[in-house]
Structure 1
Amino acid sequence: MNPRTPEFLTREHDPADPSPWLALYLDRSTPLPDAVKEAWLADSSCKSRQYLLPFLRPLARAFIILIQVIKTFLPRRWSHSKLLHRVLAWGLEHFVSPEANWLILRHFHLGAQVLSFIARNAPVPVSTTPLEPMRISDLRDEMFVKHDLNLFNFVIRLNSALREAGVEMHAPETVDFSMIRDPGLSLADMPQRKRNFLDLQSAIELFTPLYQLMLTDNDFWRAANSLQLDETVGIYTAQILEAPQHLILVNNKHPLVPLSTLRAGYRLVLHGLSTEMLHSLLMQFKSESMAASKTPTQTQPATPPETTEPPPPPSV
């Protein structure tokens, strides 16, 4: 699936100098599919992340502090969301690596499927608003802001309905996995120019100050705090599946403890990985459920025919 096979898959294994990326790729303790893991590790092991990110990260955090000071003198409602998304889409199209762009587009689809899964299996009816961009240009429709709004609105609608009905989240009699599927996005369709070199984490660190500058403080803080709902979504899923042991793979700090926006870029990467992990687990559960439904039920052994005893001899 990956048009550019990463170096750690082509280099011969040297026991005296083992590749940490190869070890992570071969490891099966996490449920990521090979194609996703290959793209993730190819992006993580690229030169821009190794040499550029250490310089970009402190600069980006310094700009976050500076912009926070500047915005104290701007009108409270000052916002240019449409322009922001045009700039983000342009930057992704022209400078971000194919693997990073593929993972970003996948994230919208996987997040929509996970929320739909929870809504379909919740004990109360709740609506969702799926976002499923197929091309980078689709992100211009304020997709990033809508993604954050969807998450908070879903949590509010779900829990309002639960409170009104006086019920708690619990496992249904039959879990519906029909909405969980591969998004159908192709890595080969992502921009492949020479200038598409920027890795996912470097791109996020660069875009975060821009995100802060061109949105209201309320929108930016809401976006940063939405990352802490990863555990919330994970708990809902665990309650439906009755599988709390998998929550260890969904970790982005406690939802009731808001964190500084300085680490928003790093936590956004964790958010993306948590979503991939959760979706992979649901795909596994779906496969197991389908396999179980196809397994023929064991037939009971045939009951031997009843033997008829001969009638007793007539009494004399």
Structure 2
Amino acid sequence: MSEQANAPTPTAPQGAAASAADPPLWDAIVADPAVPLDPEVTQMIVDDQRRWTRTWLYPVARPVSRMLALLIVALKRITPVRWTAHRLMDRLCLWFLRRFVSPLAVELLIRHFVIETNLLNFIVRNTATPIEPVALRPVNLAGLGDHAVIEHDINVYVVLAALDMNREGPLDFTGLDMPPLDPEPGRRRLMRLDIQTALCLMNLPFAACLTPDEYRRAVHSMRFDDSILSILAELTGDPVFLRWQNGDLSVRADSNTDVPHAVYRHAVICEYAHAHLVRLAARGEG
């Protein structure tokens, strides 16, 4: 046998072997080329995911929130009096966000309101839909009050109900900007929850302060994500939007939804679609 055949096989450095055995999860997520987000936005999402509250509190908060929300809605359905407390819901929401939720999570939440409005307005501007563009674009934490949560859900229904897919001319990519956002980072907080744990806790006053029909309407609005992605794919001629469909049927109303999980997925999908529209705008397509 040759000396080369008898030579010992080179071994990888100890550090490299350790790295291969324990790959950097979060670095891989940020670098994943299949994620269409700007790296800064992906890093924001990852930083929020890495909070200790996401690791330790969320697994407990998620099933408890789902059970209590179902109980609240069931009790309200058998109650003969239908009452709402929209103003109380807004106040509880702002109080909770200012004192118990991290500024990063608050910023991600405000971003979602702006991004969904941008998506709906892109559809309105590029079709013959006979309505004015959606006006809900909060830029600070206070903007999440004044019925913003309810308006946010209703806007989806209004646009889809009036939708007229006829259009002429090139696509209008205006209105996809993200204004500077103020999540009140300097405010003293008792705790700094991640956004998923915060959604679990915020789901309870939503269930309590809305009528069962209002709550069901808000939850069902997320089932139109697949419809919006299909509309965007048809308008732009780009099938990439269809990759993020979940297979939810808007014609089926589900009464047993994991609402916080659905809201989080809905927000991420909107981020994906918005980022891809921005990319198409930069390419000058349409």
TM-score, normalised to structure 1, is 0.79
Q: Partners in 1 of 2:31 and 2:162 — Cα distance?
A: 41
Selected match of 1:245 from 240, 245, 266: 240
Gaps of 5+ in 1: 1-11, 163-168, 293-316
Selected match of 1:121 from 82, 104, 126: 126
Corresponding residue for residue 249 of structure 2: 254
Tell me the CA shift for residue 252 of structure 1. 6.5
- Tell me if 1:227 matches 2:232: no
5 Å matches for 1:69-80?
A: 69-80=74-85
Letter in 2 for 1:182: M
Q: Partners in 1 of 2:125 and 2:22 — Cα distance?
A: 49
Q: Deviations over 1:212-241 (max 9, x none)?
A: 111101110000000001111111111110
| Contact 2:139-2:179 at 8 Å conserved across structures | no
Q: Partners in 2 of 1:64 and 1:197 — Cα distance?
A: 23
Identity fraction in percent: 28
Q: Partners in 1 of 2:96 and 2:160 — Cα distance?
A: 31
| Contact 2:101-2:189 at 8 Å conserved across structures | no
TM-score, normalised to structure 2, is 0.87
Corresponding residue for residue 279 of structure 1: 274
- Tell me if 1:215 matches 2:220: no
Selected match of 2:170 from 165, 171, 174: 174
Tell me the CA shift for residue 19 of structure 1. 2.3
Q: Partners in 2 of 1:195 and 1:110 — Cα distance?
A: 29
Q: Which has the larger radius of gyration?
A: 1
Selected match of 1:153 from 135, 153, 158: 158
Corresponding residue for residue 60 of structure 1: 65
Distance change in 2, residues 1:65/1:116 (3 Å):
closer
Q: Deviations over 1:17-49 (max 9, x none)?
A: 222111101112111111110111111121101
Tell me the CA shift for residue 262 of structure 1. 3.7
Distance change in 2, residues 1:281/1:23 (3 Å):
same
Selected match of 1:41 from 35, 38, 46: 46
Gaps of 5+ in 2: 1-15
- Tell me if 1:85 matches 2:90: yes
| Contact 2:89-2:206 at 8 Å conserved across structures | yes
Q: Partners in 2 of 1:234 and 1:51 — Cα distance?
A: 34
Tell me the CA shift for residue 244 of structure 1. 2.0
Distance change in 2, residues 1:207/1:21 (3 Å):
same
